[in-house]
Amino acid sequence: MNAKPKQLSTRLPKSFDGPDEPWHYYLTIDLVSKVLGYTILHPWVAWVLVLCLRAQATPWARPEMCIAIAWAFLMSLISIFTAISNRIAYGTAREVDLSEEVIVITGGVEGLGALIAEVYGMRNANVAVLDTKKVDDEEAEEKGVLYYQCDVGDAEQVEAVAKEIIEDLGPPTILINNAGIVYNKSILETTAQEAERIFRTNTLSHFHTLRTFLPHMLSSPHGGTVVTISSVLAHLGATNLSTYTASKAALLALHSSLRAELSQHPNGDAVKTILVTPGQISTKMFAGVKTPSNFLAPVVASVDVAREIIGMVEGGRGGEIAVPLYSRWVQILGVLPVGVQTVIRRWSGIDRAMKSVGMKHE
């Protein structure tokens, strides 16, 4: 009864060490979109406006009343259509009870994966992290996470670790494929060994983990969830990132094939799939890369991406997560005339961003 609560050390991100940015730095198109989504673009708010006009005894035939009603109907139809579309595409949500789930996260020692693992660890969930980096037992106990040293690009290592996870925690039901490395090198500078390692870690690891853990989800009465973390660069490509973008682009096709195969499996409806295609995240993997426009293409905080993933996983839903806003619409670039695409790429600076960084992260 007199035991003192455990005190955990807190380390703030390095960005807190620097001076505060001016107020307009935090004004982004994503913030504007979010505000609009909770106000005039929300069907309930649109109908409240109609009620307010009616409360003022505004006649039904007045132009402002007709416009308000038409807008409310439009917002309602869009909301209903979106809900029906998601229901057709991803089915009904599955019930998620963290006490009964076993969560496997690849590449969870640093970056986004570490943040997700630590959040679930603090909530006493069953979390297993697969990473080549070693974590000492004291740190693992403090975070409430089990760490397994494993190269997820090696099928035999994944299968061996899977047996340990099943023995320690039980059959995995949530798989978050997050592991990834990047080399900032041109095609001519990239060695065959580096290209092979990129694909082993970023792409082949997904095959290994799916082949190993998916059968347990399909046989589980509660189903499971598979999270595939790709990148917005999978749609775009970029100078000095040929191996990285190609390995992430392969995940888009893999995810589509996974969904197609699950739709043909008798128990496939119980396994939810989530595709994550974020823009630049504030992790050390792309530290030093300057965004061309903080308003249109802001750097996304890891916590924001983690919150989206955790929310969808715990809601038992399938779907796609694309943040910031431009990453939801970036595929439209591919249908524009090639001249327009060239102008947009030059304006965005996407093919110049990596030249001045001198980056190599694993």
pLDDT tens by residue, 137-184: 899 999 999 999 999 999 999 999 999 999 999 999 999 999 999 998
Q: Dihedral (C-alpha) 216, 218, 224, 227: value to the nearest 10 degrees?
A: 90
Dihedral of CA 169/170/172/173: which sign? negative
CB 158 within 8 A of CB 212: yes
CB 37 within 8 A of CB 45: no
Per the rule left: phi > 0, alpha: psi between -120 and 50, beta: everything else, 51 is: alpha
The residue written with tokens 């005190």 in the block is 7
Q: Which candidate, 256, 330, 313, 309, places its Cα nearest to that of 89?
A: 256
Q: With 90 as the cut, is the pLDDT of residue 346 above it?
A: no
The residue written with tokens 């909770």 in the block is 38
Dihedral of CA 320/321/326/331: which sign? negative
CB 298 within 8 A of CB 291: yes
What is the band of 5 on the pLDDT scale with cuts at 50, 70, 90?
low
**b/e code 66-98 from CB counts within 10 Å (16+ = b):** eebbebbeebeeeeeeeeeeeeeebbeebebeb
CB 113 within 8 A of CB 87: no
Q: With 90 as the cut, is the pLDDT of residue 334 above it?
A: no
Which letter does DSSP use for residue 299 in this model? P
Burial classification of residue 257, based on how many CB atoms lie within 10 Å of its CB (0-12 exposed, 13-18 middle, 19 or more buried) = exposed
Q: With 70 as the cut, is the pLDDT of residue 328 above it?
A: yes
Q: State how far the Cα of 257 lies from the Cα of 293, in Å rounded to an integer.
A: 34
**Structural domain boundaries of the chain?**
26-90, 102-361
What is the band of 20 on the pLDDT scale with cuts at 50, 70, 90?
low
* Per-chain mean pLDDT for the chain: 89
Our measurement of the distance from residue 72's CA atom to the centroid of its chain's CA atoms, rounded to an integer in Å, reads 32
CB 328 within 8 A of CB 259: no
Burial classification of residue 158, based on how many CB atoms lie within 10 Å of its CB (0-12 exposed, 13-18 middle, 19 or more buried) = buried
* Catalytic, out of 120, 148, 244, 326: 244
CB 232 within 8 A of CB 330: yes
Burial classification of residue 269, based on how many CB atoms lie within 10 Å of its CB (0-12 exposed, 13-18 middle, 19 or more buried) = middle
Q: State how far the Cα of 219 lies from the Cα of 15, in Å rounded to an integer.
A: 45
- Taking residues 35-62, what's their average pLDDT? 94
Our measurement of the distance from residue 162's CA atom to the centroid of its chain's CA atoms, rounded to an integer in Å, reads 24
pLDDT single digits (tens) 179-209: 999 998 999 999 999 999 999 999 999 999 9
Q: State how far the Cα of 278 lies from the Cα of 321, in Å rounded to an integer.
A: 7
More confident residue, 79 or 281: 79
Which pLDDT belongs to residue 299?
87
Which letter does DSSP use for residue 268 in this model? G
State the greatest distance between any 2 C-alpha atoms of the chain, in Å, as a whole number.
Answer: 75
- Taking residues 111-133, what's their average pLDDT? 95
**Range with lowest mean pLDDT among 170-174, 287-291, 314-318, 322-326:** 287-291
Q: With 70 as the cut, is the pLDDT of residue 2 above it?
A: no
**b/e code 185-213 from CB counts within 10 Å (16+ = b):** beeeebeeeebebbbbbbbbbbebbbebb
Q: With 50 as the cut, is the pLDDT of residue 18 above it?
A: no
3-state secondary structure of 170: coil
Which pLDDT belongs to residue 15?
46
Q: Is 244 assigned a catalytic role?
A: yes
Q: Which residues contact 252 (CB under 8 A, 6 or more apart)?
A: 230, 234, 235, 275, 277
3-state secondary structure of 92: coil
So what CATH class is 102-361? alpha beta
Q: With 80 as the cut, is the pLDDT of residue 289 above it?
A: no
What is the band of 356 on the pLDDT scale with cuts at 50, 70, 90?
low
> Which pTM was predicted?
0.88
More confident residue, 11 or 236: 236
Q: Which residues contact 64 (CB under 8 A, 6 or more apart)?
A: 53, 58
Which pLDDT belongs to residue 17?
46
For residue 76 the two structure tokens come to 């309602």
Q: State how far the Cα of 117 lies from the Cα of 257, in Å rounded to an integer.
A: 27
